[in-house]
Copies of this chain bind each other. A is one copy, B any other.
């Protein structure tokens, strides 16, 4: 999420000064360089939320943490194992951002006191996230194992976290980074798949595809969502994106590590031109 675009600093000064296992000595720190900088020269007014990827899914599914039941020793052990894995990934992402000069601070939803009630967020105080943003830091949250008032415990997904933060912080826009260019009308591996460039969501949750103009029953996004669902978690992303769009916050879904994702992160998305690849989901006017 971003509220303004920014320019990159002339020279990136990394902020991961920690030793790696096997490093012989303390890292070289350009303290004088930092001290002479008027500022970081980049926009830090955003929040990063990441999922678990290959970190955590194995641990959670092996023990059934998402289904709850901490009286089971296996679930309790799986809760501990899942948190170790997802916080390891969080640490790697915070380090990678810090190496690029982004003042990132890891914040685990569990440690922040976030909890759920039958998997819906029940308690999610974001005051520390807001304080960190005001202090110029970039909070980095993640999908996490959390306590649940009914189930004892469950898994809180990054997509649900993003929707909740969008409600609380009302950012200018939200970007979902994925491994495909956006939302297609059928699985993107299908050679006839069409990238849906603009989707409108109305107050009742109904959808309409604004771009491109599709024919016949291909107007139904529900069909394409169902098709996507079998190829991996796009359905949750789209449902959460639609919920965010209904708040009046534009959502950009685009491919990570491309010029399109860079433009989306800067808010530089114009659906009337053809040179941006991605899906915009917004509220119907």
Q: Contact residues of A with B, CB < 8 Å? A: 13, 15-19, 26, 29, 31, 34-35, 37-40, 55, 58-59, 62-63, 70, 72-74, 76-81, 83-85, 87-88, 91, 94-95, 98, 103-108, 110-113, 115, 125, 127-128, 131-132, 135-137, 147, 152-153
B-chain residues with CB within 8 Å of residue A35 when the two chains form the complex: 72-74
B-chain residues with CB within 8 Å of residue A106 when the two chains form the complex: 83, 87, 108, 111
**Inter-subunit contact A135/B152 (CB<8 Å):** yes
Most buried by B among A13, A59, A115: A59
**Inter-subunit contact A84/B147 (CB<8 Å):** no
**Inter-subunit contact B103/A115 (CB<8 Å):** no
B-chain residues with CB within 8 Å of residue A74 when the two chains form the complex: 31, 34-35, 37
A13, chain B: closest CB distance, angstroms: 7
**Chain A binding surface SS class:** mixed
Q: What is the count of identical protomers in the complex?
A: 2
**Bound-complex Cα distance A34 to B79 (A):** 12
24 contacts between A and B (CB under 8 A): A15-B81, A15-B84, A17-B78, A18-B55, A18-B59, A18-B81, A18-B85, A29-B81, A31-B74, A34-B74, A35-B72, A37-B73, A40-B76, A77-B103, A80-B104, A83-B94, A84-B91, A84-B94, A88-B91, A106-B111, A107-B110, A112-B113, A131-B147, A132-B147
B-chain residues with CB within 8 Å of residue A136 when the two chains form the complex: 70, 76
**Inter-subunit contact A77/B112 (CB<8 Å):** no
B-chain residues with CB within 8 Å of residue A55 when the two chains form the complex: 18
B-chain residues with CB within 8 Å of residue A78 when the two chains form the complex: 17, 34
A21, chain B: closest CB distance, angstroms: 9
**Bound-complex Cα distance A78 to B55 (A):** 28
Q: Which of B17, B37, B111, B135 contacts A59 (CB 8 A)?
A: B17
**Bound-complex Cα distance A113 to B107 (A):** 10
A44, chain B: closest CB distance, angstroms: 9
Of all chain B residues, the one with the shortest Cβ separation from A32 is B74
Given A39-B73, A76-B136, A88-B91, do A112 and B111 touch, yes or no (CB 8 Å)? yes
**Inter-subunit contact B153/A128 (CB<8 Å):** no
A55, chain B: closest CB distance, angstroms: 7
